[in-house]
Structure formats: C-alpha cells, structure tokens
Chain A
Amino acid sequence: MKYLVISIFYLTISSCAAQSSQEIRLNKTDYEIITIFINQMFPENFNLLSEVSGDNVIKRFIGKYQDHLKVYKNSDSICRNSKDIEKLKISCPIADSFQMYENLLSDEDISYFHGTYSHDEEFEKLNINRILNKSSMLVVEGNYPSLEILNIYYNRKGDLGIIAYRKNYNKNESESNFYILKKMKNIWWKPLGSFKL
C-alpha cells in the first residue's frame, strides 16, 4: 500500500513536470488536420519543427479573410454585371476561385475568434512521428527550409479548422500563411487551401 501511494505521488509529480498547466495538448483532430495540411502542401523536403509557437495571429487571419471576401464580392459582381468581355474573362475565373470564401465565416464565428483566441498560447511539442507515419513528407536534417506551425484555430461548431504556419527558407526569408480545412458530412476534412493574396 505504501509503495502504491508513493508510486501515485511520483507519477503525479512527473506528469506535472512534463506538462505545464497552461500548455495546450494536441488532440486527435489536431493531428488529423496537420497531417492533411502537410500531405497537401509539403510533398517535398521540409524540416518540420516540433515547436508550435502559439503566436496570436487571429487578427491577421480575420483581416486576410475579409480581404479575400472583398475580392470575391467585387469580381463576382463584375462577372455578373459587366458587358466588357475582357473584364469578364479576368473577373469570372477570379470569382470562381475565390468563391470558397463566401459564407465561410459568419459574424458569429468572427466574434468567437476574437473572444476565444485573443492571446498567445503555449502548446505541447508536436509528436512528429505521429504525423510522418501518415505522410510522404521527407524530413531533412538541418534547419532550412523549415515549416513551423504557429497556431491552430477552430470555429465554435468545430467544423472549420485553420492552421497558421510559417515557411522559413533561410535565416532572413520566411512566409506566413493560413491553411483552411472544412469538415464535410461530419466525416472528413476537406482542404480548402491557403490564402492566395
């Protein structure tokens, strides 16, 4: 009995040491969408960093989303109403490829994002093997090019996933973006892609 109490006490202490209280644990859904994201975006030789920075980038995401929605609405309007065939030939394909942004987020979603994700967060480290077992991505030892996950967001219903990420080409050159996925039929995550502008 004495040994049991000591063991439980020891186990509790070690698990506390392994994970701080604010650290966000990555769950099955997180790994599912990260794996899809990597398979879609990184068939080549990127070094996946295990640190998830937890940077607060939700405002940047919402701003970019609104810019894309605006482009969609403008080009769709030209596509529907213009009589200039050259304009139509440019605007209609743009409207078509930006159509996914229409009704992607409701006002309620946007308020939810502002309210829920308004500060930096601390994540546990990624278990890279859990992703690479299901991925064709070849990991190169060394620093560059590298892929860093900055944060992961979901809307209130949990049917829209957003991965904030950064591609680092070298010490001075990097590129941040957001990858969007939508849960379909409550079964699978459809990759909608990254922002284009």
Chain B
Amino acid sequence: MIISRFGTPNTVYDWELITSVPSVIGNKADTNRRNGSTPFDYVTKIDPTYKNQATKISIARTILHEMLHAYMISHIDDVNSGNIVDIRKFIQLWQNIRNTTSPGGSSEAAQHEYMAQRFIPPLREALKEWDGASQSNQYYEDLAWGALFDTDTFKYFHPIGSVSRLRIMNINAAEDNNNISNGTSPKGTKC
C-alpha cells in the first residue's frame, strides 16, 4: 500500500531517495518536503558517511523507516488538501500532534511514536523477507526498533536497565557502524 502510493504511475506523491548530508548534522537520514514546504514531494537524504560505513541490513532498515516518514508526511498533506479518507488509520498521530506542547514534541516525534506503536511487526517482517529469513525473528524485531529509542512506547516495553533495551541498542549500533558494539557483532555485510 505504501509502495503503491509512491510507485503507481502518474501518482501525485513523489518520493526521492538521495545520498546527501541530512538537514540535521549527525542524523543517519531524514525525510522532508522538498524545500521544506512543497506538498506531495518528499526527499529522503541518506548520510554518505553512514551509507559507506553501515551494513546493508542497517541501510535497508533506515530506508524503510524513512519511507514511513514519507508516508506519514504525505498523509498530513492529504489532510491539508481536505482529504481525510485515511484519518482512522492515523488517529493516534493526530492525537500526538494536537496534544504535544514541548519543543521536543514535533511532528517527527509524533511520527516516531506512531511507528513504535503500529509498525514494529511490519518492519520486522519486511527486514526478514529482504534478508531471506537467515536470522532469528528477535534479530529483525530488534532492528525494527532502530531510531525509535526516544519513544514512550520503546521506553515502556524496554525500560532503562532492561536486558532487552541494551541488546536492541547494541545490535542497532553494531549494524549502523559495522563494528562490534559492547560485545555485539554485526551480522550484516557492507555494501
């Protein structure tokens, strides 16, 4: 469904994936409207240093994660043009957008919260399929949590000090940097 949104011929939604320094230095990647404000036209920038260093599965995870951002921003653009057909699917996202008031409570944070609540199993399955299911379900699910460590949902299921939290963070760091992280080795291979 998400792929058809961007991939159908003559679709109004345009999503471009490029290797370029993200707008926030230090991010692995980010996705925004083109020039910050053009609706239905999205650009994902993947950091070149990250791309040259990370394992393939880490990059695959990042692309899926950014695709979800593009999907959610496109939904916001739909709403901006008066189309609320999908609104039931995104009710939690709009609740987050309306309720958060702190400077950290931006749309990106709301999108992450929504991903953490709804998209961990689909991300796990997509990574597993892409990788030929050569590893355990746990491994793919741990990777699906990448970039979502600051969500309340992650903190709830994997609280500070828990074994699972440390395992998830180490697996993601190992794959992101293609390096051993606190004794955890990457399982993926470099591009």
Contact = CB atoms under 8 A, between A and B. Distances in A.
* Any A–B CB pair closer than 8 Å: yes
Interface of A: 39-40, 43-45, 134-136, 138
Interface string B94-111: 011001000000000000
A50 B123 CA distance: 35
Nearest to B92: A136
A39 B152 CA distance: 15
Contacts, number: 17
B72 to A, nearest CB: 15
A85 B146 CA distance: 50
A136 B117 contact: yes
A40 B156 contact: no
A136 B96 contact: yes
A134 B96 CA distance: 13
Chain A: interface secondary structure?
loop
A6 B156 CA distance: 53
A32 to B, nearest CB: 14
A134 B91 contact: yes
15 contacts: A39-B95, A39-B99, A40-B99, A43-B95, A43-B96, A43-B99, A43-B152, A44-B152, A44-B156, A45-B156, A135-B95, A136-B92, A136-B96, A136-B117, A138-B156
Contacts of A40: 99
Contacts of B96: 43, 136
Interface in B68-101: 91-92, 95-96, 99
Contacts of B117: 136
B24 to A, nearest CB: 25
What 4 A-B pairs are tightest by C-beta distance, nearest first? Answer: A136-B92, A39-B95, A136-B95, A40-B99
Contacts of B95: 39, 43, 135-136
A175 B156 CA distance: 23
Contacts of A45: 156
A192 to B, nearest CB: 14
A103 B91 CA distance: 33
Contacts of B152: 43-44
Nearest to A40: B99
A136 B91 CA distance: 9
B88 to A, nearest CB: 10
Contacts of A43: 95-96, 99, 152
A134 B88 CA distance: 9
A45 to B, nearest CB: 6
A13 B51 CA distance: 71
Nearest to B117: A136
A48 B90 CA distance: 23
